[in-house]
């Protein structure tokens, strides 16, 4: 059973650019969530995808968007990067629709630096 | 509004000491779920425990134990006989049932340093 894998592990982008981060969910998991973790802070919920549809969103602007594919893998896209977007981006997968009581399994994250 | 507070920013102990990490939460939901996660330097969040709002039984798993008290909105985590491998950042998190999806609201974390 493979766990949650994210790519790339590190990334440096220039302000104003666009970035795509990727996540492969754990085998058998149909729900993927994305979190942003600024340095020294707890993770902040960005959104959740279930069966290729966004079914929950946190307080992030529309320039944060995502996709989920039929194999349940997912992408996080961020347009018009700002310096404050520098953070660790964590992907989590869970089974059964990812409802409130589900155990979420996290990947090791992508460290994004915007310069 | 939902909120999780971990007032202890950093705790330093010597190996074999017991340590308690505090977590206080706020929610208007009657059905909610509480979690603890461990974040080692590698970055991934490791699930430790889930507790629902209707189950106030304390739980023990090896050297780990959790004390859930709805009366004080607290869900504290104790490590008995700490080890160097316990060094990490620990997060408490809350998820509300009414949303229909899992939005984990995390505290700011407590960094635990266990020295030999």
Q: What is the mean pLDDT of chain A?
A: 93
Check whether A2 has a pLDDT greater than 70: no
Across the range B32-52, mean pLDDT stands at 92
Q: What is the mean pLDDT of residues B68-89?
A: 96
Contact A58 B103 (CB under 8 A): yes
Please report the pLDDT score of residue B98 as a whole number.
76
Mind telling me how many Å the CA of A92 is from chain B's nearest CA?
9
Evaluate the CA torsion angle A108, A3, A35, A115 in order and state its sign: positive
Residues of B in contact with A94 (CB under 8 A): 102
Q: What is the mean pLDDT of residues B75-97?
A: 96
Asked if B54 has any chain A CB less than 8 Å from its own CB, the reply is: no
Tell me what the pLDDT averaged over chain B comes to.
94
The confidence score (pLDDT) of residue B21 equals 98
Contacts of B46 in chain A (CB under 8 A): 106
What confidence score (pLDDT) does residue A95 get? 84
**DSSP classification of residue A68:** E
Tokens of B16: 């074999």
List the structure tokens of A16. 């104003």
Enter the tokens of residue B40: 């080692």
The size of chain A, in residues, is 115
pLDDT at B97: 81
Question: Does residue B99 contact residue A39 with C-beta atoms inside 8 Å?
Answer: no
Q: What part of A 47-106 touches B (C-beta under 8 Å)?
A: 48, 50, 55-56, 58, 88, 90, 92, 94, 97-106
**Dihedral sign of CA atoms A52, B34, A60, B38 in order:** negative
pLDDT in tens, B5-27: 999 999 999 999 999 999 999 99
Is the predicted pLDDT of residue B81 greater than 90, yes or no?
yes
Residue B57: which of B75, B43, B42 has the closest Cα? Answer: B75
pLDDT tier for residue A102 given thresholds of 50, 70 and 90: confident
Q: What is the pLDDT, as a whole number, of residue A101?
A: 73
Any A CB within 8 A of B45 CB: yes
pLDDT of residue B68: 95
Please give the angle made by the CA atoms of A38, A83 and B38, to the nearest 5 degrees: 10
Per residue, the 3-state secondary structure of chain B, as one string, reads CCEEECCCCEEEEECCCCEEECCEEECCCCCEEEEEEEECCCCCCEEEEEEECCCCCCEEECCEEEEEEHHHCEEEEEECCCCHHHCEEEEEEEEEHHHCCCCCEECCCEEEEEEC
The pLDDT-based confidence of A84 (bands split at 50, 70, 90) is very high
Question: Cα–Cα distance between A94 and A15 in angstroms, integer?
Answer: 33
A111 CB-contact burial (10 Å; exposed 0-12 / middle 13-18 / buried 19+): middle
Average pLDDT estimate for A85-105: 85
| Angle formed at CA A58 by CA B88 and CA B24, multiple of 5 degrees | 45
Q: What are A14-70's pLDDT values in tens digits?
A: 999 999 999 999 888 889 999 999 999 999 999 999 989 998 999 999 999 999 999
Residue B105 near chain A (CB below 8 Å): yes
Instruction: Kindly state whether A26 is in contact with chain B, defined as any CB-CB distance less than 8 angstroms.
Output: no
Of B45, B100, B109, the CB nearest to A99: B100
Which tokens sit at B99?
Answer: 């949303």
**Residue A1: pLDDT above 60?**
no
CA A69 to chain centre: 14
**pLDDT at residue A72 above 60?**
yes
Q: Is the pLDDT of residue A98 over 70?
A: no
> Would you say residue A99 has pLDDT above 80?
no
């Amino acid at each position: 059973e493979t766990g949650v894998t994210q790519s790339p592990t590190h990334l440096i982008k220039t302000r104003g650019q666009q970035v795509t981060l990727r996540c492969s969910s754990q085998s058998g998991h149909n729900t993927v969530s994305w979190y942003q973790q600024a340095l020294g802070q707890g993770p902040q919920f960005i959104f959740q995808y279930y069966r290729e549809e966004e079914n929950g969103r946190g307080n992030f602007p529309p320039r944060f968007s995502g996709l989920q594919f039929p194999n349940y893998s997912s992408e996080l896209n961020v347009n018009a990067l700002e310096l404050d977007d520098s953070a660790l981006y964590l992907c989590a997968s869970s089974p059964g629709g990812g409802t409130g009581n589900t155990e979420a399994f996290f990947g090791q994250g992508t460290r994004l630096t915007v310069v | 509004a939902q909120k999780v507070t971990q007032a202890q920013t950093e705790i330093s102990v010597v190996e074999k000491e017991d340590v308690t990490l505090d977590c206080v939460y706020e929610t208007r939901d009657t059905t909610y779920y509480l979690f603890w996660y461990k974040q080692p330097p590698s970055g991934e969040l490791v699930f430790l425990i889930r507790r629902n709002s209707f189950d106030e039984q304390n739980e023990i798993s090896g050297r780990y134990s959790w004390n859930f008290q709805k009366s004080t909105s607290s869900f504290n985590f104790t490590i008995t006989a700490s080890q160097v491998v316990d060094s990490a950042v620990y997060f408490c998190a809350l998820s509300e049932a009414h949303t229909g999806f899992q939005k984990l609201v995390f505290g700011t974390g407590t960094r635990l340093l266990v020295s030999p």
